[in-house]
Chain A
C-alpha cells in the first residue's frame, strides 16, 4: 500500500519525535547509569575526573555495605505484600462494586480518593496515625507514649508503611480492574449462568481469563509501584532503621551531600535488573502461552 507524502511525513514525525525523546530521556540516562556504575566520581568537575573502577562498586555493595541486603529484602517483601494483599483486595472490590449495589458510586469515589494523593502526603497522614506519642492509633487504644512504636520499631515499621501505601494502591487497582470489568461482554456471564456456574466459578473460569490484558497491566503496575516505593518511607524517617529500600540507597548515595555517583548508580542498576527480571519473565511466559495453538 502506498501512502501519500503528507501521511508519510506525519507518520515519520509521530514516530520520530517520541523515539528521540525516548532515546534521550530514557535510554541514554539508563545506559549512562549502567556505565557510571563501574566508575568512581564525586560529581564535581568535568567528566574527565571520572575514574574507572571496574566492578569494585558491586563487590563492595554485596560484601560490606550493611544496608544493601536489608533493602533488597524489604523491596521483595514489599513486592510480595503488594501482590498478595492490596492488589487482590483491589480486584475483589472491583468485582463487588461492578454489581449494581446501592451507593456504588460513593464507594468508588471514596476508595479512589487516596490515589489522587501523592505518596508523600500518604506518608504524612500515616505518621499522624502511627506516631507513638501523638498518633491516632495509640490514642485510640489508650496507650499514648507507651503503645507499640509503629514507626521506630524496625520489625513493625515496614509493615505499617506497606499498609499505608496499600491504602492508595487498592484504589488504583480497583479502578483499573473496574474499567476492565465494564468491558466484559454480558453474554459471557449469561452463558456461564446457563451452564450452571456459580459466582466464583464464573469469575475464576470465565471473567478472569478474559481479562488477561488487564491482569498484565495490573501486575506490571504492581511491580513498578513496589520497586519504586520511595517517597512514603523517605518522609517518615529518610528510609533508615527498618525502612531501607533500594531506591532510598540510590538517593542517599547520589543526591545527598555524599555524592557517590558511581556507587549509587550501581545500586540503581541492580534495581533496574530486578524490575526487568520480574516483568520480562512474566511477559515472556504470557506471550509464549498465547502463541500455543
Chain B
C-alpha cells in the first residue's frame, strides 16, 4: 500500500498514544511510580519548601533540553536539588523539536510529572484542555519572587497559574562593538537613523542586517517587533488572538515598512540558518542581527565579550519602543501526577534564585526570572538584558507562542517566506492570511 507512509504511520502513532497505550510514554510513569514508593501519597504537609527530606521522593522530568549546554546545566540543577531536598529527579530528555511536535500525544499519554514548556498561548491551551495541573498553591509561596508581568505570563485563561518561569531572553539587535567602533557607527534611535546606518554599512561592504529564515520562525521575530513598534502591544495581541483582521491597514503598514528595510537585509535568507547568519556577524561580514539573546551561542571566547546589543529603534513616537519579545521558558505540571507533592517541591526549587543561578552558570545566554536572582555574576550583556526587560512596559512571547500553534506553523511560516520572496503583493498576502485565519480561529 502506498498511502503515504508518513501520513498513516504518524496518525497511527497518534491514535495509539491517544489511547494511552504507547509504552514509550508509559515507561517514565512506571519508573516514577516505582521511585515514588517512599513518597507519602496523602501526606499531611502539601510541602514546606525545604524541610522533611524524605517527603520529596522521585520526580520524573520531561526535558526538551537536548543540546549539550542546557542538558548539562539541568543536570547540575538537579544535583543541587538533591543536595537541598533529598529528592531525586528522573530526567527524560527528548530532542527539542521532537518534544515540541509530539507535545499533544505526549501529554495525553503518560507524561512525566514536570515538563519543560513555554509561557503564553502555548501554556494556556494545554491548561484549558485539562492536560496540566493548577499550581496556584505553589505560586502562593513563590509568587513574591516574581514580577507581575511574569505572573500574568504564567496564568491560564481561568485565572489560575499553570507555569513556573525559569529563564528568559530578550530579542534585540546584536552587533560587534569592535566593528562599530572601528567604522564609527552609532546606535540608531529611530527608523530613519537605522536606514541611514544601513546605507553606510552597505557602502562599507557589509551586509547591514544579517537575516536567516530557512527554518521559518526567525522572520516572525521581525514581524513582531515591527508590529509592536508601529501598532503597539494591544493591537499586536489582538492580531495574535485572531481578533483583529490581517487585512487591517495597520498590518499592511507593517509589511510596507518591512519592505523598505528588506534591501538592508542579507540576501538569500531563505537558504540560511540563524547559526550561519550569526556567523556572518561573528566574522564581520554583517553589521548587525536582530535575534534572541541565544545568538551568543555562536560567539566564543573573546568574541563573546565583543558582542553587544541595542533595543530595536522607535518607529512611531506615540507608540514608543518599550515593548519587546522576551520569550519565557519554564515548567508545567502534567495532569494527575503520581508524586504531586514531590513535583511541586521541585517546581518551588526551580523558582528559586539558587536553581536559576546554577543553570545560568552553565548556559549564560539567558537571564533568570526570580527577583532575588544573583546578578553579580552576570556578564555585561546579561546585565544589559535585565535592564532592557525591566524597562519594558509590556513583554510579548514571540509569535509562535502568542498565537495558535496551528496558525503559526501552517499559515504564518509560509506566508512570511512568501513575503520575503515577493514583497510587492502585500494586499494579496494579507488576504491569503486572513482567509486561512478565519478557518482556524472558529
Q: Could you tell me which A residues sit within 8 Å of B by CB distance?
A: 25-27, 29-30, 32-33, 36, 42-45, 60, 64-67, 131-134, 145, 149-154, 157, 223-224, 227-228, 230, 237-238, 240-242, 244, 246-247, 250-261, 264-265, 267-268, 271-272, 275-276, 279
Q: Would A45 and B129 count as touching, CB distance under 8 A? A: yes
Question: With the chains together, A229 CA to B214 CA distance in Å?
Answer: 19
Shortest C-beta distance, B157 to chain A (Å), equals 16
Interface 1/0 per residue, B89-132 and A, CB below 8 Å: 00000000000111111001000000000000010000001010
Indicate which residue in B101, B108, B216, B413 contacts A257 across the interface (CB closer than 8 Å).
B101
Q: Would B268 and A268 count as touching, CB distance under 8 A? A: no
Q: Would A228 and B421 count as touching, CB distance under 8 A? A: no
- Interface residues in B310-360 (C-beta closer than 8 Å to A): none
Shortest C-beta distance, A120 to chain B (Å), equals 12
Q: Would A255 and B2 count as touching, CB distance under 8 A? A: no
Shortest C-beta distance, B245 to chain A (Å), equals 15
Question: Given A154-B421, A241-B417, A257-B104, do A145 and B216 touch, yes or no (CB 8 Å)?
Answer: no
Q: Could you tell me which B residues sit within 8 Å of A by CB distance?
A: 1-8, 10-12, 14-15, 18, 100-105, 108, 122, 129, 131, 214-216, 267-272, 276, 279-280, 285, 405-406, 409-410, 413-415, 417-418, 421, 432, 435-436, 439-440
Q: Would A153 and B268 count as touching, CB distance under 8 A? A: yes
Q: Would A152 and B410 count as touching, CB distance under 8 A? A: no
Question: With the chains together, A224 CA to B270 CA distance in Å?
Answer: 29
Q: Would A272 and B6 count as touching, CB distance under 8 A? A: no
- Not counting A33-B7, A275-B2, A275-B3, a sample of 13 additional A-B residue pairs whose C-beta atoms are within 8 angstroms of each other reads A43-B18, A64-B432, A66-B414, A132-B268, A132-B272, A153-B271, A228-B2, A244-B414, A264-B7, A271-B3, A271-B7, A272-B2, A272-B3
Chain B contacts of A29 at CB under 8 A? 3, 8, 11-12
14 pairs across A/B with beta carbons < 8 Å?
Answer: A25-B12, A30-B8, A33-B3, A44-B129, A149-B271, A224-B2, A240-B417, A251-B10, A253-B406, A255-B14, A260-B410, A267-B7, A272-B2, A276-B2
Closest residue of chain B to A64 (Cβ to Cβ) is B435
Chain A contacts of B272 at CB under 8 A? 132-133, 152
Q: Would A230 and B11 count as touching, CB distance under 8 A? A: no
Q: Would A228 and B410 count as touching, CB distance under 8 A? A: no
Q: Would B2 and A132 count as touching, CB distance under 8 A? A: no
Shortest C-beta distance, A146 to chain B (Å), equals 9
Question: With the chains together, A131 CA to B279 CA distance in Å?
Answer: 14
Interface pairs A-B: 5 shortest CB-CB: A152-B271, A258-B406, A268-B7, A257-B405, A152-B270
Shortest C-beta distance, A39 to chain B (Å), equals 12
Chain A contacts of B440 at CB under 8 A? 260
Q: Would A238 and B216 count as touching, CB distance under 8 A? A: yes
Question: Given A45-B129, A237-B215, A251-B10, do A259 and B406 touch, yes or no (CB 8 Å)?
Answer: yes
Chain B contacts of A36 at CB under 8 A? 11
Shortest C-beta distance, A284 to chain B (Å), equals 16
Question: With the chains together, A32 CA to B440 CA distance in Å?
Answer: 23
Q: Would B2 and A250 count as touching, CB distance under 8 A? A: no
Closest residue of chain B to A46 (Cβ to Cβ) is B18
Q: Would B409 and A252 count as touching, CB distance under 8 A? A: yes
Question: With the chains together, A268 CA to B6 CA distance in Å?
Answer: 9
Chain A contacts of B104 at CB under 8 A? 42-44, 257, 259
Chain A contacts of B421 at CB under 8 A? 154, 241
Shortest C-beta distance, A286 to chain B (Å), equals 17
Question: With the chains together, A257 CA to B439 CA distance in Å?
Answer: 17
Indicate which residue in A246, A254, A258 contacts B14 across the interface (CB closer than 8 Å).
A254
Chain A contacts of B7 at CB under 8 A? 33, 247, 250-251, 254, 264-265, 267-268, 271
Question: With the chains together, A230 CA to B267 CA distance in Å?
Answer: 27
Chain B contacts of A153 at CB under 8 A? 268, 270-271
Question: Given A66-B432, A133-B272, A256-B405, do A152 and B2 touch, yes or no (CB 8 Å)?
Answer: no
Chain B contacts of A261 at CB under 8 A? 11, 14
Task: Count chain A CB atoms within 10 A of each CB in B4, B11, B129 and give the residue with the most.
Answer: B4
Shortest C-beta distance, A260 to chain B (Å), equals 5
Chain A contacts of B105 at CB under 8 A? 43
Question: With the chains together, A247 CA to B9 CA distance in Å?
Answer: 12
Chain A contacts of B18 at CB under 8 A? 43
Q: Would B436 and A65 count as touching, CB distance under 8 A? A: yes
Question: Given A60-B439, A254-B11, do A152 and B4 touch, yes or no (CB 8 Å)?
Answer: no
Chain A contacts of B269 at CB under 8 A? 152
